[in-house]
Amino acid sequence: MLGRSIPIMLTRIFSSAALVLVVASCSAGQQESPVPNEVRRRIAQAVWPENLFDSSGQPDRGFVRRPFRPEFADLHIRRAGAIDGLSGATLFVGTAVPSACIHCAEPTYAVAQRGSEFVSLLGPEDIAYLAPWAGKDVLGDSVRLRSFVISALRETCFLGCEVKQILERSEVPHPDSLFLRPIGEDRGPWRVPRTYSWQQDGGVVLEFAIFSRRFGVYRAWAEWDGLESLQLSVAPVAHFMLP
């Protein structure tokens, strides 16, 4: 009786082991990042320009880490939400904060993907590179163009993830307005940039104010040439400081 039970027990053990391996493989597959290798490579290269990265987005020939800089393991990439007026594109946002430093800067970069095309976004002005994907229906309408810029700023989190257009100073939430100080030598009260739009030579010119709950107030200026070229400028007007 004992001799017969041994093969049965071994069969059950091997079956259980195989089941564990299958479950483990499925779990590993589910945990794999959906981030494309090209996205990981581009964002990693932006965070650590002193390193080279292979086609899979991994450090090539070792990893050089300068003092007070993030480790490669500190890199986090997420899939962001959709940008208004930009259909068929996926946005990925990457950050890398040194795990041992809670006060260190948080470099933020983004990559937009549409099919086999990729566009690296290293700062607010680079949003203009997405203009050909937006199309003339968006770029030629001042309301849709403004919405496109604000939505892209919000999703990339270049100015923080909470940004909105403002028309008046009273739209800045209290007590945030108490800690805003003008940029530069001007010690007087800061002013909200004007809201302006104009049709010019078949294109569009925009100017409007943006409030970021993280950094302060910005002046945004955008000009579309009527074709596919968009110029964008985002300049600080007032930033948060203790009184």
Residues 131 and 209 in one domain: yes
Question: Which residue among 92, 122, 152 closes a domain?
Answer: 122
Alpha-carbon distance 149 to 142, whole Å? Answer: 11
Residues 65 and 178 in one domain: no
Question: Which residue among 102, 122, 142 closes a domain?
Answer: 122
More confident residue, 103 or 175: 175
User: In this predicted structure, what is the pLDDT of residue 69?
Assistant: 83
Question: Which residue among 68, 91, 122 closes a domain?
Answer: 122
Residues 144 and 89 in one domain: no
User: In this predicted structure, what is the pLDDT of residue 89?
Assistant: 97
Has residue 193 been placed in a domain? yes
Has residue 237 been placed in a domain? yes
Average pLDDT, the chain: 85
Structure tokens of 68? 């007070």
Residues 68 and 101 in one domain: yes
Has residue 156 been placed in a domain? yes
Nearest Cα to Cα of residue 240 among 170, 188, 190: 190
Structure tokens of 42? 């581009």
User: In this predicted structure, what is the pLDDT of residue 20?
Assistant: 36
Residues 59 and 139 in one domain: no
Residue carrying the six token digits 């299958």: 22
163-166 and 117-121 strand pairing = unpaired
Residues 72 and 113 in one domain: yes
Alpha-carbon distance 230 to 210, whole Å? Answer: 19
**pLDDT digits over 111-154, tens only?**
999 999 999 999 999 999 999 999 999 999 999 999 999 999 99
Q: Is 22's pLDDT higher than 80?
A: no
Residues 204 and 214 in one domain: yes
Residues 212 and 236 in one domain: yes
Question: What residues make up the domain containing 241?
Answer: 124-243
Residue carrying the six token digits 């049965």: 8
User: In this predicted structure, what is the pLDDT of residue 17?
Assistant: 39
* pTM of the predicted protein model: 0.82
The set of residues, in sequence order, having a beta carbon less than 8 Å from that of 109 and lying 6+ positions away, is: 42, 43, 46, 47, 93, 94, 120, 121, 122
Residues 203 and 174 in one domain: yes
User: In this predicted structure, what is the pLDDT of residue 21?
Assistant: 34
Nearest Cα to Cα of residue 231 among 133, 130, 153, 144: 130
Residues 129 and 220 in one domain: yes
Residues 154 and 231 in one domain: yes
Residues 137 and 232 in one domain: yes
User: In this predicted structure, what is the pLDDT of residue 104?
Assistant: 73
How many domains are contained in the chain?
A: 2
**pLDDT digits over 176-198, tens only?**
888 999 998 666 788 999 999 99
